[in-house]
Structure 1
Amino acid sequence: MRSTRTHRRNTALAVAAVAALSLGLTACGGDDKGTRDEGAATHASAPAEAGASSGSGTGGSTTAGGDASAAPGKASGTSGSGGGSAGGSAGGGTGTGAKNAAAGGGKTPSCTFQDVRVTAAKADETPTEHIVLTAVNKSSRACRLDGYPLIAFGQIQTAKDIPAVAKSKPAAPVVLQPGAPAYANVRVVLGGVHEDNKVVDSFNVNLFTGTAPTEGSIVVKAPAGGIAVDEAAAKTGYWTQELRNGADEF
């Protein structure tokens, strides 16, 4: 019985020793494998980080260098996709601007006093309160008749400039081809002859370039018998292609 127990105990001790040795080897192997895995991961991540750092540095250097040197580089015609796009956009903008500038430069020039002949006629009414001015392009080129006739009934240096009626302003520019006319309705008095009226045989008309009066005036002969003018009541309409009911009645 004793020897059997001793054998069993020895056998149990041997098994336990083997198990302990196995566990030790397993633990040691696990640590070794873990160390190798960690080393592999560290080794793998190191190039990645280096690559990222290198890429970032290279990219940053390229970008910064590109931006810093792009001013002369891209302006001088870098043909990369970014430079091409920027150059294309700039070129497109410049082209559009050039076209607009060309179109602006190619617009019909304003009529000058040398381009038009202005005549005056009494309106068909009794008593006469209005006259109609007719401007004909006597030049060999088209011109644009801006604004309204700037009228002075009397000495041009001292006479009152007759104000314009805003509602008579046309929506589109008045462009006159050679020989073509434009018209302006002018009120010279209100309520017929008055003791304050003055009779004039001629008067001066200036033209505009845009919104600024141009140099040189046109002397317009009054209709036969002259016209009675009350400067306080006088108004002028804008130049229009034709006289319009309503807008040109004032």
Structure 2
Amino acid sequence: MNTLRHHSTLLTVAATALALSLTACQSDADTESASAATSSATGKTADGKGAGASGPTESIDSTSPANSADSEGTSGSTGSNGEQATASTPVCTAEDVTVTAATQDGPPYTHLVLTAKNASRRSCRLTGFPRIQFLESHKQDVAAVAKSKPATSVVLAAGAPAYALVKLSDGGVDEDNEPVSAFSVMLEDDSTVIAVTAPGSGGIAVDPAKALTGYWTPELRNGADDF
């Protein structure tokens, strides 16, 4: 009789342990299911971070070095530096320009204006002053006035002009003036002779001993080259 009661007690203990074990397993399974459901609901990004996380986010800074470099590259490609253009632009030759002469508009009437216009399709650099010879009997070039020299060489874009003021005489009646209907001009560092027609139907009166020329400038400077 005691043996049967002891066996019954063991069965009861075993049943209780089995029930507790099943309850624990069910609890773990429920927890894992809940975690899986939560992960599925929030999702994950490619870097493993939850898409719904409340941590710090990355933003594009317009002042960052990478974006600044892009901005500088864009502006730099459209920009242009005058000194660099001057240094890299070829010197104008007689083939690049056309030279014409006109009487100065207003006193003193003893001067004329030379205009050198860039007739080419590229920019070129016009340096120095025009090498002028008015008469066959006077082979030396007309002297240049130093104070008319610009600070830098003149860069002519296609179609752009440059100017040089030229003194013909002092305007005195007792001067040794000679009539000139055409004269020669050479550019600096170019031995090609450019024939220029003198303005007016009767040409111009030139005193070779008084003649002077200014340097090429991008604009005619009224009063700045008094000579």
Sort the Cα spacing of 1:199 and 1:105 in 2 relative to 1 into closer, same or farther, 3 A.
closer
Q: Give structure 1 regions of 4+ aligned residues with deviation exceeding 3 angstroms.
A: 103-106, 192-195
Q: State the Cα distance separating 1:106 from its structure 2 match.
A: 6.7
- 1:113-163, Cα deviation, whole Å (9 max, x unpaired): 1111010011134673100000000011111111000000023x8523100
SS at match of 1:147: coil
1:228 aligns with 2:205: yes
User: Which one of 192, 197, 208 corresponds to residue 177 of structure 2?
Assistant: 197
Sort the Cα spacing of 1:144 and 1:194 in 2 relative to 1 into closer, same or farther, 3 A.
farther
Alignment TM-score, normalising by the size of structure 2: 0.58
Hey, what does 1:120 align to over in structure 2?
Answer: 101
Kept in 1: contact 2:86–2:153 (CA 8 A)? no
Unmatched tracts of structure 1, length 5 or more: 1-102
Alpha-carbon separation, structure 2, partners of 1:112 and 1:154: 23
Hey, what does 1:148 align to over in structure 2?
Answer: 129
Sort the Cα spacing of 1:198 and 1:117 in 2 relative to 1 into closer, same or farther, 3 A.
same
SS at match of 1:113: coil
Hey, what does 2:49 align to over in structure 1?
Answer: none
Alpha-carbon separation, structure 2, partners of 1:146 and 1:169: 10
Alpha-carbon separation, structure 1, partners of 2:220 and 2:99: 16
Quote the RMSD (CA, aligned, Å).
2.2
Q: State the Cα distance separating 1:196 from its structure 2 match.
A: 1.1
1:216 aligns with 2:196: no
State the one-letter code of the partner of 1:231. Answer: P
Kept in 1: contact 2:183–2:195 (CA 8 A)? yes
Q: State the Cα distance separating 1:195 from its structure 2 match.
A: 4.8
* Aligned residues between the structures: 143
Alignment TM-score, normalising by the size of structure 1: 0.53
What are the equivalent positions in structure 2 for 1:23-38 lying under 5 Å apart? none
State the one-letter code of the partner of 1:229. Answer: V
Sort the Cα spacing of 1:109 and 1:122 in 2 relative to 1 into closer, same or farther, 3 A.
same
Q: State the Cα distance separating 1:245 from its structure 2 match.
A: 3.5
Alpha-carbon separation, structure 1, partners of 2:196 and 2:92: 16
State the one-letter code of the partner of 1:147. Answer: G
State the one-letter code of the partner of 1:249. Answer: D
Bigger mean CA deviation after superposition, 107-116 or 232-241:
107-116
Alpha-carbon separation, structure 2, partners of 1:222 and 1:247: 24
Hey, what does 1:38 align to over in structure 2?
Answer: none
Q: State the Cα distance separating 1:188 from its structure 2 match.
A: 0.4
The percent of aligned pairs where both chains have the same amino acid is: 57
Q: State the Cα distance separating 1:191 from its structure 2 match.
A: 2.4
